[in-house]
Amino acid sequence: MANPESTETNEAQLAVHWKEEEYYYPGTQFIAQANMTDADILDRFGEKNFPECFKEYADMLTWYKYWEKTLDTSHPPFWKWFVGGEINACYNCVDRHLPKYRNKTAIHFVPELESDPIQHVTYQELYVRVNEFAALLRDYCGLKRGDRVTLHLPMVAELPITMLACARLGVIHSQVFGGFSGNACGERIEDSQSRFLITMDSYYRSGKLLDHKKQANIAYETAHKLGKPPEKVLIWQRHPGKYSAETPLVEGRDFIINDLLPKYRGHRIEPERMKAEDILFLMYTSGTTGRPKAAQHSTGGYLAYVTGTSKYIQDIHPEDVYWCMADIGWITGHSYIVYGPLALAASSVVYEGIPTYPDAGRPWRIAEELGVNIFHTSPTAIRGLRKAGEDVPRKYNHHFKHMTTVGEPIEPAVWRWYYNEVGKKEAVIVDTWWQTENGGFLCSTVPALAPMKPGSCGPGVPGIYPVVYDDDGKELTAGAGKAGNICIRNPWPGSMQTIWGDHDRFVKVYYERYCKNKDSKDWRDWPYMAGDGAVLAADGYVRILGRIDDVINVAGHRLGTKELESAALTVEEVAEAAVVPIPDEVKGRVPDLYVSLKPGYKPTKELQEKIAKALSDAISPIARPKHVWIVPDMPKTRSGKIMRRVLGAISSHGATGDVTTLANPEVVETIRVMVQDEGK
């Protein structure tokens, strides 16, 4: 998650040791069917046509009323898009598809248990379920446009149904990642001043039915202590008709949605005519410290942007079966599981569980069964699947035309595995760089038009003009070989409007650093600072080095953690790698390296040495890690990100803090014993 607040201003000059990678070209079959094959697109979306170029995206939607002004810059950096326009997001994702696609699947819900059948929710069924639930929200809860509700739902069809029902009424949804603790959820209820909490009794994770209702009680208590308890807690049943959590209901406070719904059978709700600038949803970024901060996203600009990028970058056609393995509780899921794909009438897969349950073949079996042809996931997930070896995907007969990677820099070795083994050399890959704050992609290749380069996300997508500045605000030219802070020079429709309830923080975190003139109403004076380090290659491709704070300064030599990890991953035996800094009297900081191995390999002293050597060979002797810890598994969040913070605490003998929300808390103690006993 982005957290540019912790950016240290002097950390832009990262050492860059990446070697240039070869291009890979899109296949003719892909190009023949692609949505965007017009090489003029970047020109059409070039600066001379800005901001009117974004009309092309907005025109993919159905508006009640056309906008009068494409971009209003009168209150920088609070840009307003499609001013005067009126639109409803739910109408665009559901109703308007009915004449043509009524019987087409909108959502394939794949339960984690493989013995449970996949549910195929058609557009007609989605329409009915969204309307009935919207009726309940309006008439039973008294919710109206502008109200907030917090959702704490797992990956089930009810999650997009709930989001769309809210959008239909103009109610602002704030979905908190289902794997987050009740406590985190409660804080977000208070911060957003939500009137209701909508949750589910239970869900499956790693084959176990988890009691999720327990979290709702904690969330309620936390919000209560903070002074804003929700009026009611609404609970979907994971198994309709059967309450399946151990934690009991609280009389007068908790209500089962499945019991209430029959009263609303057949109800239809006219979608609210929302202003383009009205808020569609809040999405909290995972700040580790301080108050949670929510990116506030608009209705018209956001929907136009995710629809346009889903069409051109994700190459989604209505006939595609599209699977993004992210969680809807993150921005990727909002933009590229729900709003973008559904606005284009695609069939979008919602998978409940973890990719490796019951084994690493599961994603490929799902892809086979549903005929998935567009696949979207993160480097972390790819590394996890790679760990099981290429024999697994090779067993399956899935065929992707297109694959996406998002969320972290991808090491070229992992990229190639994704391309060769998962994509079978048939699929194009887009490496999409962006953030919760941005609504949609910022940098990526347009897949039919530009070659891919492993480890580089590519140039700005149409209408996005990136620039890399050094610490003094000097532009680093393409091919300069220096790293700096990546910024976007211009506003774009998908950008968040502000941080919910904290406009000052919004300006300070993202715009203050490189603002050229605070009194200017010209957008050119207000570059957006993403908080990532990046290098701009001679061909205009951007290589993201990770958060500016993900930097280890070894004896004045600034090493990106990603390039160190990438070097470790070139070693055949290594499945996953994580680098953390530890204090060193001489060098200031030195890297400590944690790795897990692919199956069938054993930890040995020789292997440790081989890995350490790989880092010093690939980067420099200065990059040689103090230790190479070969661990059975990495501590991971439920969303699969490696918790470097926990490893860092272990390495420097600090407190690991609360690890109970991790996917695998038990591994923390194993690693602690290994590291700290050795150190004695």
Nearest in space to 57 (alpha carbons), one of 48, 67, 47: 67
112 binds ligand WTA (CB under 6 A): no
Q: Which of 350, 457, 597, 668 binds ligand WTA (CB under 6 A)?
A: 457
Stretch that binds ligand WTA, among 113-121, 367-375, 430-438, 495-503 (CB under 6 A): 430-438
Q: Nearer Cβ to ligand WTA, position 237 or 298? A: 298
CB of 662 vs ligand WTA, minimal distance in Å: 18
Q: Nearer Cβ to ligand WTA, position 342 or 544? A: 544
Q: Nearer Cβ to ligand WTA, position 204 or 415? A: 415
CB of 330 vs ligand WTA, minimal distance in Å: 6
Q: Nearer Cβ to ligand WTA, position 197 or 452? A: 452
299 binds ligand WTA (CB under 6 A): no
Neighbouring CB atoms inside 10 A of 60's CB total 16
Q: How far is CA 475 from CA 47, 482, 485, 510, in A?
A: 18, 11, 10, 17
Stretch that binds ligand WTA, among 66-74, 152-160, 428-436, 618-626 (CB under 6 A): 428-436
3-state SS string for 377-392: ECHHHHHHHHHCCCHH
Q: Which of 106, 172, 325, 331 binds ligand WTA (CB under 6 A)?
A: 331
Backbone angles phi, psi at 435, to 5 degrees: -145, 165
Pairing state between β 148-152 and 196-200: parallel
Contacts of 41 (CB under 8 A, 6+ apart): 312, 446, 449, 462
CB of 434 vs ligand WTA, minimal distance in Å: 5
Q: Nearer Cβ to ligand WTA, position 92 or 405? A: 405
| CA atoms of 215 and 388, how far apart (whole Å) | 33
2 binds ligand WTA (CB under 6 A): yes
Q: Nearer Cβ to ligand WTA, position 3 or 131? A: 3
Question: Do 298 and 280 form a contact (C-beta atoms < 8 A)?
Answer: yes
CB of 509 vs ligand WTA, minimal distance in Å: 12
Q: Which of 95, 352, 408, 576 binds ligand WTA (CB under 6 A)?
A: 408
* Ranges within 515-554 binding ligand WTA (CB under 6 A): 530, 532, 544, 546-547
CB of 441 vs ligand WTA, minimal distance in Å: 8
> Residues binding ligand WTA: what is the number (CB under 6 A)?
22
CB of 229 vs ligand WTA, minimal distance in Å: 29
332 binds ligand WTA (CB under 6 A): yes
Per-position x/- string for 202-241, each x denoting binding to ligand WTA as judged by CB under 6 A, each - no binding: ----------------------------------------
CB of 290 vs ligand WTA, minimal distance in Å: 16
| CA atoms of 666 and 670, how far apart (whole Å) | 7
Cis before 393? omega within 30: no
Q: Nearer Cβ to ligand WTA, position 133 or 433? A: 433
Please, which residues bridge with residue 389 across strands?
A: none
302 binds ligand WTA (CB under 6 A): no
Q: Nearer Cβ to ligand WTA, position 1 or 118? A: 1
Question: Do 476 and 466 form a contact (C-beta atoms < 8 A)?
Answer: no
CA terminus-to-terminus distance, the chain: 35
CA angle, 28 then 30 then 32, to 5°: 65
CB of 396 vs ligand WTA, minimal distance in Å: 26
Q: Which of 11, 431, 563, 592 binds ligand WTA (CB under 6 A)?
A: 431
Helix intervals (H) in 326-429: 331-333, 340-343, 362-370, 379-387, 391-394, 412-417
Tell me if residue 90 falls in helix, strand or coil: helix
Nearest in space to 495 (alpha carbons), one of 294, 302, 674: 302
Nearest in space to 189 (alpha carbons), one of 215, 219, 161: 219
Q: Nearer Cβ to ligand WTA, position 350 or 545? A: 545
Please, which residues bridge with residue 468 across strands?
A: 486
Q: Nearer Cβ to ligand WTA, position 348 or 432? A: 432
CB of 639 vs ligand WTA, minimal distance in Å: 9
417 binds ligand WTA (CB under 6 A): no
Contacts of 254 (CB under 8 A, 6+ apart): 216, 232, 233, 235
Stretch that binds ligand WTA, among 138-146, 228-236, 328-336, 586-594 (CB under 6 A): 328-336
CB of 342 vs ligand WTA, minimal distance in Å: 19
CB of 408 vs ligand WTA, minimal distance in Å: 5
Q: Which of 302, 434, 506, 629 binds ligand WTA (CB under 6 A)?
A: 434
Question: Do 283 and 334 form a contact (C-beta atoms < 8 A)?
Answer: yes
Angular region, 601: left φ>0, alpha ψ -120 to 50, beta rest: beta
Nearest in space to 152 (alpha carbons), one of 281, 328, 312: 328
CB of 171 vs ligand WTA, minimal distance in Å: 24
Q: Which of 70, 73, 92, 285 binds ligand WTA (CB under 6 A)?
A: 285
What burial class does residue 209 get, using C-beta atoms within 10 Å of its C-beta: 0-12 exposed, 13-18 middle, 19+ buried? middle
Q: Nearer Cβ to ligand WTA, position 295 or 354? A: 295
| CA atoms of 290 and 575, how far apart (whole Å) | 34
Amino acid letter, 423: G
566 binds ligand WTA (CB under 6 A): no
CB of 625 vs ligand WTA, minimal distance in Å: 22
CB of 383 vs ligand WTA, minimal distance in Å: 14
489 binds ligand WTA (CB under 6 A): no
Tell me if residue 424 falls in helix, strand or coil: coil
**Half-sphere exposure (CA, 13 Å, Cβ side) for 120?**
10
Q: Nearer Cβ to ligand WTA, position 72 or 437? A: 437
| CA atoms of 467 and 420, how far apart (whole Å) | 32
- The total number of residues shown for the chain amounts to 680
Q: Which of 222, 435, 485, 596 binds ligand WTA (CB under 6 A)?
A: 435
CB of 550 vs ligand WTA, minimal distance in Å: 8
Tell me if residue 309 falls in helix, strand or coil: helix
433 binds ligand WTA (CB under 6 A): yes
| CA atoms of 246 and 201, how far apart (whole Å) | 9
* Ranges within 639-668 binding ligand WTA (CB under 6 A): none
Helix intervals (H) in 170-278: 182-192, 213-225, 257-260
Stretch that binds ligand WTA, among 18-26, 143-151, 330-338, 483-491 (CB under 6 A): 330-338
In the complex, the residues that contact ligand WTA under the rule CB under 6 A are 1-2, 285, 330-332, 406-409, 431-436, 457, 530, 532, 544, 546-547
